Chain A
Protein backbone atom coordinates (compact mmCIF):
# COMPACT_ATOMS: atom_id res chain seq x y z
CA UNK A 1 0.00 0.00 0.00
CA UNK A 2 1.14 3.55 -0.59
CA UNK A 3 1.43 5.10 2.82
CA UNK A 4 1.18 8.74 3.52
CA UNK A 5 4.19 9.24 5.68
CA UNK A 6 3.45 12.79 6.60
CA UNK A 7 4.06 12.81 10.35
CA UNK A 8 1.08 15.06 10.93
CA UNK A 9 -1.40 12.53 9.63
CA UNK A 10 -3.14 10.19 12.02
CA UNK A 11 -5.14 7.37 10.40
CA UNK A 12 -8.01 5.57 12.06
CA UNK A 13 -8.69 1.89 11.36
CA UNK A 14 -11.99 0.00 11.62
CA UNK A 15 -13.29 -0.20 15.19
CA UNK A 16 -10.74 2.30 16.39
CA UNK A 17 -10.77 5.86 17.69
CA UNK A 18 -8.08 8.53 17.90
CA UNK A 19 -7.76 11.97 19.41
CA UNK A 20 -5.20 14.52 18.22
CA UNK A 21 -4.38 18.20 18.52
CA UNK A 22 -3.43 20.86 15.98
CA UNK A 23 -1.54 20.68 13.63
CA UNK A 24 -2.50 17.02 13.19
CA UNK A 25 -4.92 15.81 10.53
CA UNK A 26 -7.02 12.74 11.35
CA UNK A 27 -8.34 10.64 8.49
CA UNK A 28 -10.11 7.45 7.57
CA UNK A 29 -11.90 5.65 4.70
CA UNK A 30 -15.48 4.51 5.22
CA UNK A 31 -17.90 2.15 3.53
CA UNK A 32 -20.99 1.13 5.48
CA UNK A 33 -19.09 2.16 8.61
CA UNK A 34 -19.76 5.56 10.15
CA UNK A 35 -17.08 8.09 11.03
CA UNK A 36 -17.89 10.27 14.04
CA UNK A 37 -15.86 13.45 14.39
CA UNK A 38 -15.86 15.44 17.63
CA UNK A 39 -14.15 18.83 17.72
CA UNK A 40 -13.10 21.25 20.41
CA UNK A 41 -12.64 24.66 18.81
CA UNK A 42 -11.05 26.17 21.93
CA UNK A 43 -8.17 23.74 22.35
CA UNK A 44 -8.05 22.79 18.65
CA UNK A 45 -8.46 19.14 19.54
CA UNK A 46 -10.31 16.62 17.40
CA UNK A 47 -11.36 13.03 17.82
CA UNK A 48 -12.48 10.47 15.25
CA UNK A 49 -14.27 7.15 15.71
CA UNK A 50 -14.67 4.56 12.94
CA UNK A 51 -17.62 2.42 14.01
CA UNK A 52 -18.94 -0.56 12.07
CA UNK A 53 -22.09 -1.68 13.89
CA UNK A 54 -24.86 0.09 15.81
CA UNK A 55 -24.95 -1.99 18.98
CA UNK A 56 -22.53 -3.93 21.11
CA UNK A 57 -25.18 -6.31 22.51
CA UNK A 58 -22.74 -7.56 25.15
CA UNK A 59 -20.30 -8.71 22.51
CA UNK A 60 -16.70 -8.75 23.55
CA UNK A 61 -13.99 -6.97 21.67
CA UNK A 62 -13.14 -3.45 20.71
CA UNK A 63 -15.68 -0.94 22.04
CA UNK A 64 -14.86 1.27 19.04
CA UNK A 65 -16.60 -1.16 16.71
CA UNK A 66 -20.03 -0.21 18.03
CA UNK A 67 -21.87 3.10 18.11
CA UNK A 68 -23.32 2.54 21.60
CA UNK A 69 -19.94 1.85 23.21
CA UNK A 70 -17.61 3.75 20.87
CA UNK A 71 -19.26 7.18 20.96
CA UNK A 72 -19.30 7.43 24.80
CA UNK A 73 -15.67 6.28 24.78
CA UNK A 74 -14.67 8.96 22.27
CA UNK A 75 -16.46 11.56 24.39
CA UNK A 76 -14.68 10.25 27.48
CA UNK A 77 -11.29 10.58 25.78
CA UNK A 78 -12.06 14.12 24.65
CA UNK A 79 -13.29 15.24 28.06
CA UNK A 80 -11.05 13.32 30.45
CA UNK A 81 -7.85 12.94 28.47
CA UNK A 82 -7.81 15.92 26.13
CA UNK A 83 -9.55 18.02 28.82
CA UNK A 84 -12.12 19.41 26.41
CA UNK A 85 -15.23 20.95 27.89
CA UNK A 86 -18.24 18.92 26.86
CA UNK A 87 -20.35 21.97 26.08
CA UNK A 88 -17.90 23.23 23.42
CA UNK A 89 -17.81 19.92 21.56
CA UNK A 90 -19.53 19.64 18.21
CA UNK A 91 -20.07 16.53 16.11
CA UNK A 92 -19.95 15.77 12.38
CA UNK A 93 -20.87 12.41 10.94
CA UNK A 94 -20.00 10.69 7.66
CA UNK A 95 -20.31 7.36 5.85
CA UNK A 96 -22.95 4.71 6.42
CA UNK A 97 -23.22 3.81 2.75
CA UNK A 98 -25.24 0.91 1.44
CA UNK A 99 -22.24 -0.87 0.03
CA UNK A 100 -22.15 -4.05 -1.99
CA UNK A 101 -22.25 -7.04 0.26
CA UNK A 102 -20.16 -10.15 -0.13
CA UNK A 103 -22.84 -11.89 1.85
CA UNK A 104 -26.51 -11.10 1.44
CA UNK A 105 -27.03 -11.75 5.15
CA UNK A 106 -25.42 -8.42 5.92
CA UNK A 107 -28.33 -6.08 5.31
CA UNK A 108 -28.18 -2.32 4.98
CA UNK A 109 -26.06 -1.89 8.06
CA UNK A 110 -24.99 1.61 6.99
CA UNK A 111 -28.47 3.00 7.62
CA UNK A 112 -28.69 1.45 11.10
CA UNK A 113 -25.25 2.86 11.89
CA UNK A 114 -26.38 6.37 10.94
CA UNK A 115 -29.64 6.18 12.92
CA UNK A 116 -27.96 4.83 16.05
CA UNK A 117 -25.13 7.38 15.83
CA UNK A 118 -27.61 10.27 15.61
CA UNK A 119 -29.59 8.87 18.53
CA UNK A 120 -26.58 8.38 20.80
CA UNK A 121 -25.09 11.79 20.07
CA UNK A 122 -28.51 13.28 20.81
CA UNK A 123 -28.75 11.41 24.12
CA UNK A 124 -25.29 12.62 25.08
CA UNK A 125 -26.27 16.18 24.29
CA UNK A 126 -23.72 16.64 21.50
CA UNK A 127 -24.89 18.79 18.62
CA UNK A 128 -24.42 17.39 15.10
CA UNK A 129 -23.44 20.46 13.06
CA UNK A 130 -22.76 18.69 9.77
CA UNK A 131 -23.28 15.33 8.16
CA UNK A 132 -22.79 13.66 4.81
CA UNK A 133 -24.15 10.15 5.03
CA UNK A 134 -25.70 7.36 2.97
CA UNK A 135 -25.16 6.71 -0.72
CA UNK A 136 -23.62 3.58 -2.16
CA UNK A 137 -19.96 4.48 -2.40
CA UNK A 138 -16.93 4.72 -0.17
CA UNK A 139 -16.04 7.91 1.63
CA UNK A 140 -12.70 9.43 2.65
CA UNK A 141 -12.66 12.02 5.38
CA UNK A 142 -9.91 14.07 6.95
CA UNK A 143 -10.25 16.42 9.88
CA UNK A 144 -7.91 19.39 10.14
CA UNK A 145 -7.60 19.90 13.89
CA UNK A 146 -6.46 23.51 13.38
CA UNK A 147 -9.75 24.57 11.78
CA UNK A 148 -12.20 21.78 12.56
CA UNK A 149 -12.95 21.53 8.83
CA UNK A 150 -13.51 18.05 7.42
CA UNK A 151 -12.55 17.34 3.82
CA UNK A 152 -15.07 14.81 2.62
CA UNK A 153 -14.63 12.91 -0.60
CA UNK A 154 -17.14 10.37 -1.84
CA UNK A 155 -15.92 8.06 -4.60
CA UNK A 156 -16.71 9.58 -7.99
CA UNK A 157 -17.63 12.97 -6.52
CA UNK A 158 -15.79 16.19 -5.77
CA UNK A 159 -14.14 16.80 -2.42
CA UNK A 160 -16.33 18.98 -0.23
CA UNK A 161 -15.74 20.79 3.03
CA UNK A 162 -17.88 20.29 6.11
Chain B
Protein backbone atom coordinates (compact mmCIF):
# COMPACT_ATOMS: atom_id res chain seq x y z
CA UNK B 1 0.00 0.00 0.00
CA UNK B 2 1.49 3.32 -1.02
CA UNK B 3 0.58 6.95 -0.84
CA UNK B 4 2.73 9.94 -1.75
CA UNK B 5 4.02 12.14 1.06
CA UNK B 6 2.16 15.09 -0.38
CA UNK B 7 -1.15 13.23 -0.46
CA UNK B 8 -0.58 11.97 3.06
CA UNK B 9 -0.06 15.55 4.19
CA UNK B 10 -3.23 16.78 2.46
CA UNK B 11 -5.16 13.89 3.95
CA UNK B 12 -3.75 14.63 7.40
CA UNK B 13 -4.97 18.22 7.19
CA UNK B 14 -8.42 17.30 5.83
CA UNK B 15 -8.77 14.68 8.56
CA UNK B 16 -7.80 17.15 11.29
CA UNK B 17 -10.39 19.65 10.03
CA UNK B 18 -13.00 16.87 9.81
CA UNK B 19 -12.23 15.67 13.30
CA UNK B 20 -12.68 19.17 14.69
CA UNK B 21 -16.10 19.24 13.16
CA UNK B 22 -16.76 15.65 14.31
CA UNK B 23 -15.80 16.49 17.90
CA UNK B 24 -18.21 19.43 17.88
CA UNK B 25 -21.02 17.18 16.63
CA UNK B 26 -20.07 14.56 19.20
CA UNK B 27 -20.08 17.11 22.06
CA UNK B 28 -23.38 18.58 20.93
CA UNK B 29 -24.94 15.11 20.69
CA UNK B 30 -24.04 14.13 24.23
CA UNK B 31 -24.30 17.70 25.59
CA UNK B 32 -20.89 17.17 27.15
CA UNK B 33 -17.45 18.13 25.86
CA UNK B 34 -15.60 15.43 23.94
CA UNK B 35 -12.05 16.72 23.67
CA UNK B 36 -9.66 15.55 21.00
CA UNK B 37 -6.49 14.30 22.63
CA UNK B 38 -4.78 13.03 19.53
CA UNK B 39 -5.31 12.78 15.77
CA UNK B 40 -2.79 11.01 13.62
CA UNK B 41 -2.89 9.73 10.08
CA UNK B 42 -0.16 7.43 8.91
CA UNK B 43 0.77 4.30 7.06
CA UNK B 44 1.12 1.80 9.88
CA UNK B 45 2.54 -1.70 10.07
CA UNK B 46 -0.29 -4.15 10.81
CA UNK B 47 1.76 -6.11 13.36
CA UNK B 48 2.92 -3.02 15.22
CA UNK B 49 -0.49 -1.36 15.40
CA UNK B 50 -2.24 -4.55 16.49
CA UNK B 51 0.49 -5.32 19.03
CA UNK B 52 -0.51 -2.13 20.76
CA UNK B 53 -4.19 -3.09 20.60
CA UNK B 54 -3.60 -6.66 21.72
CA UNK B 55 -1.98 -5.25 24.81
CA UNK B 56 -5.20 -3.44 25.69
CA UNK B 57 -7.12 -5.83 27.93
CA UNK B 58 -10.35 -3.88 28.10
CA UNK B 59 -13.77 -4.96 26.89
CA UNK B 60 -15.09 -2.52 24.35
CA UNK B 61 -18.23 -1.58 22.48
CA UNK B 62 -17.68 -0.52 18.90
CA UNK B 63 -19.74 0.77 16.04
CA UNK B 64 -18.41 0.07 12.55
CA UNK B 65 -19.66 1.71 9.36
CA UNK B 66 -18.65 2.07 5.78
CA UNK B 67 -18.47 5.35 3.97
CA UNK B 68 -19.61 5.07 0.38
CA UNK B 69 -19.43 7.52 -2.48
CA UNK B 70 -16.56 9.07 -4.36
CA UNK B 71 -14.32 8.09 -1.47
CA UNK B 72 -14.81 4.73 0.22
CA UNK B 73 -13.61 3.77 3.63
CA UNK B 74 -14.35 2.19 6.96
CA UNK B 75 -14.97 4.00 10.22
CA UNK B 76 -15.09 2.71 13.76
CA UNK B 77 -16.03 4.32 17.04
CA UNK B 78 -14.89 2.33 20.09
CA UNK B 79 -15.43 2.95 23.80
CA UNK B 80 -14.86 0.83 26.93
CA UNK B 81 -18.03 -0.81 28.29
CA UNK B 82 -18.20 1.37 31.43
CA UNK B 83 -17.70 4.45 29.27
CA UNK B 84 -20.57 3.38 27.03
CA UNK B 85 -22.95 3.44 30.00
CA UNK B 86 -21.84 6.96 30.88
CA UNK B 87 -22.25 7.98 27.25
CA UNK B 88 -25.80 6.59 27.28
CA UNK B 89 -26.72 8.79 30.27
CA UNK B 90 -25.25 11.85 28.54
CA UNK B 91 -27.04 11.06 25.30
CA UNK B 92 -30.44 10.39 26.85
CA UNK B 93 -30.08 13.43 29.11
CA UNK B 94 -30.36 11.23 32.20
CA UNK B 95 -28.61 11.70 35.55
CA UNK B 96 -25.12 10.15 35.57
CA UNK B 97 -25.30 6.62 36.95
CA UNK B 98 -28.81 5.91 35.57
CA UNK B 99 -27.63 3.32 33.04
CA UNK B 100 -26.41 0.31 35.00
CA UNK B 101 -26.17 -2.51 32.52
CA UNK B 102 -25.38 -2.84 28.85
CA UNK B 103 -28.68 -3.08 26.95
CA UNK B 104 -30.23 -2.12 23.61
CA UNK B 105 -30.07 1.57 24.56
CA UNK B 106 -26.34 1.38 25.31
CA UNK B 107 -25.86 -0.36 21.99
CA UNK B 108 -28.04 2.24 20.29
CA UNK B 109 -26.11 5.10 21.84
CA UNK B 110 -22.78 3.76 20.57
CA UNK B 111 -24.41 3.15 17.19
CA UNK B 112 -25.74 6.70 17.09
CA UNK B 113 -22.41 8.24 18.08
CA UNK B 114 -20.83 6.19 15.27
CA UNK B 115 -23.47 7.61 12.90
CA UNK B 116 -22.93 11.18 14.05
CA UNK B 117 -19.15 10.95 13.75
CA UNK B 118 -19.35 9.23 10.38
CA UNK B 119 -21.76 11.84 9.09
CA UNK B 120 -19.55 14.67 10.31
CA UNK B 121 -16.55 13.11 8.60
CA UNK B 122 -18.57 12.35 5.47
CA UNK B 123 -19.88 15.92 5.39
CA UNK B 124 -16.43 17.46 5.80
CA UNK B 125 -14.87 15.21 3.19
CA UNK B 126 -17.79 15.81 0.84
CA UNK B 127 -17.40 19.57 1.28
CA UNK B 128 -13.66 19.28 0.65
CA UNK B 129 -13.97 17.00 -2.34
CA UNK B 130 -17.24 18.40 -3.65
CA UNK B 131 -19.02 15.07 -3.73
CA UNK B 132 -21.47 13.02 -1.75
CA UNK B 133 -20.35 10.53 0.87
CA UNK B 134 -22.85 8.47 2.78
CA UNK B 135 -22.40 6.24 5.81
CA UNK B 136 -24.00 2.79 5.77
CA UNK B 137 -26.06 1.62 8.78
CA UNK B 138 -23.59 0.71 11.54
CA UNK B 139 -22.83 -2.69 13.00
CA UNK B 140 -22.29 -2.73 16.75
CA UNK B 141 -20.15 -5.25 18.53
CA UNK B 142 -18.95 -5.92 22.00
CA UNK B 143 -15.62 -7.68 22.38
CA UNK B 144 -11.98 -7.29 23.35
CA UNK B 145 -10.21 -4.23 21.94
CA UNK B 146 -7.68 -6.32 20.01
CA UNK B 147 -10.25 -8.72 18.57
CA UNK B 148 -12.43 -5.87 17.34
CA UNK B 149 -9.55 -3.95 15.85
CA UNK B 150 -8.17 -7.08 14.16
CA UNK B 151 -11.49 -7.55 12.38
CA UNK B 152 -11.64 -3.90 11.36
CA UNK B 153 -8.36 -4.06 9.51
CA UNK B 154 -8.74 -7.65 8.32
CA UNK B 155 -9.52 -7.05 4.65
CA UNK B 156 -6.86 -4.39 4.20
CA UNK B 157 -4.26 -6.60 5.90
CA UNK B 158 -4.90 -9.55 3.61
CA UNK B 159 -2.83 -8.05 0.81
CA UNK B 160 -0.86 -5.36 2.60
CA UNK B 161 1.55 -5.28 5.50
CA UNK B 162 0.97 -1.57 5.92
CA UNK B 163 -2.38 0.17 6.05
CA UNK B 164 -3.44 3.78 5.98
CA UNK B 165 -5.06 4.60 9.30
CA UNK B 166 -6.34 7.67 11.10
CA UNK B 167 -6.58 7.32 14.85
CA UNK B 168 -8.38 9.90 16.97
CA UNK B 169 -8.58 9.73 20.73
CA UNK B 170 -11.29 11.65 22.57
CA UNK B 171 -11.55 12.30 26.26
CA UNK B 172 -14.93 13.07 27.78
CA UNK B 173 -14.37 16.14 29.93
CA UNK B 174 -14.38 15.63 33.71
CA UNK B 175 -14.40 11.87 33.30
CA UNK B 176 -11.73 9.21 32.96
CA UNK B 177 -13.36 7.96 29.79
CA UNK B 178 -11.29 7.73 26.63
CA UNK B 179 -12.84 6.71 23.38
CA UNK B 180 -11.39 6.10 19.97
CA UNK B 181 -12.30 6.74 16.39
CA UNK B 182 -10.58 5.08 13.47
CA UNK B 183 -10.81 5.83 9.78
CA UNK B 184 -9.47 3.53 7.09
CA UNK B 185 -9.74 5.25 3.73
CA UNK B 186 -9.73 3.06 0.65
CA UNK B 187 -6.48 3.99 -1.05
CA UNK B 188 -7.67 3.79 -4.67
CA UNK B 189 -10.65 6.08 -4.28
CA UNK B 190 -8.63 8.32 -1.96
CA UNK B 191 -5.94 8.87 -4.58
CA UNK B 192 -8.59 9.68 -7.20
CA UNK B 193 -10.28 12.16 -4.88
CA UNK B 194 -7.00 13.79 -3.90
CA UNK B 195 -5.97 14.12 -7.56
CA UNK B 196 -9.28 15.83 -8.34
CA UNK B 197 -8.89 18.02 -5.27
CA UNK B 198 -5.40 19.09 -6.37
CA UNK B 199 -6.54 19.84 -9.91
CA UNK B 200 -9.52 21.86 -8.67
CA UNK B 201 -7.23 23.80 -6.32
CA UNK B 202 -4.79 24.50 -9.16
CA UNK B 203 -7.61 25.82 -11.34
CA UNK B 204 -8.88 27.97 -8.46
CA UNK B 205 -5.51 29.60 -8.04
CA UNK B 206 -5.21 30.60 -11.73
Q: Are any A and B Cβ atoms less than 8 Å apart in their complex?
A: yes
Residue numbers of A with Cβ under 8 A of B are: 1-4, 9, 11-16, 27-33, 50, 52-53, 59, 61-62, 64-65, 97, 99-103, 105-106, 109, 137-140, 155
Q: Report the minimal beta-carbon distance from B157 to chain A, rounded to whole angstroms.
A: 6
Contacts of A27 in B (CB 8 A): 54-55
Residue numbers of B with Cβ under 8 A of A are: 46-59, 64, 66, 74, 139, 141-148, 150-155, 157-161
A106 touches B56 (CB 8 A): no
Interchain CB contact (< 8 A) of A9 among B49, B50, B55, B141: B55
Interchain CB contact (< 8 A) of A14 among B64, B139, B143, B157: B157
Contacts of B144 in A (CB 8 A): 29, 138-140, 155
Given contacts A29-B146, A100-B141, 8 further A-B pairs with CB under 8 A are A15-B47, A31-B148, A31-B151, A97-B147, A100-B139, A101-B154, A137-B143, A155-B144
Please, how many angstroms separate the alpha-carbon atoms of A50 and B147 in the complex?
12
B65: nearest chain-A partner, CB-CB = A102
Contacts of B59 in A (CB 8 A): 155
A3 touches B146 (CB 8 A): no
Contacts of A100 in B (CB 8 A): 139, 141, 151
Interchain CB contact (< 8 A) of A13 among B51, B64, B148: B51
Known pairs A11-B55, A15-B47; A106 contacts B150 (CB<8 A)? no
Please, how many angstroms separate the alpha-carbon atoms of A32 and B150 in the complex?
8
Known pairs A13-B47, A13-B50, A14-B47; A139 contacts B147 (CB<8 A)? yes
Interchain CB contact (< 8 A) of B66 among A3, A97, A102, A106: A102
B151 touches A11 (CB 8 A): no
Nearest 8 CB-CB pairings of A with B: A138-B147, A29-B146, A13-B51, A13-B47, A16-B47, A13-B50, A14-B50, A138-B143
Contacts of B53 in A (CB 8 A): 1, 13, 29
Cross-chain pairs A/B with CB under 8 angstroms, 19 sampled: A1-B52, A1-B53, A1-B145, A9-B55, A11-B54, A14-B46, A15-B157, A29-B53, A32-B150, A50-B50, A50-B54, A52-B158, A59-B159, A61-B161, A106-B155, A138-B144, A138-B146, A140-B146, A140-B147
Interchain CB contact (< 8 A) of B51 among A2, A16, A65, A138: A16
B144: nearest chain-A partner, CB-CB = A138
Q: Report the minimal beta-carbon distance from A135 to chain B, rounded to whole angstroms.
A: 11
Contacts of B66 in A (CB 8 A): 102
Contacts of A65 in B (CB 8 A): 157-158, 161
Contacts of B55 in A (CB 8 A): 1, 3-4, 9, 11, 27
Please, how many angstroms separate the alpha-carbon atoms of A100 and B65 in the complex?
13
Contacts of B158 in A (CB 8 A): 52-53, 65
A62: nearest chain-B partner, CB-CB = B161
B155 touches A2 (CB 8 A): no
Contacts of B47 in A (CB 8 A): 13-16, 62, 64
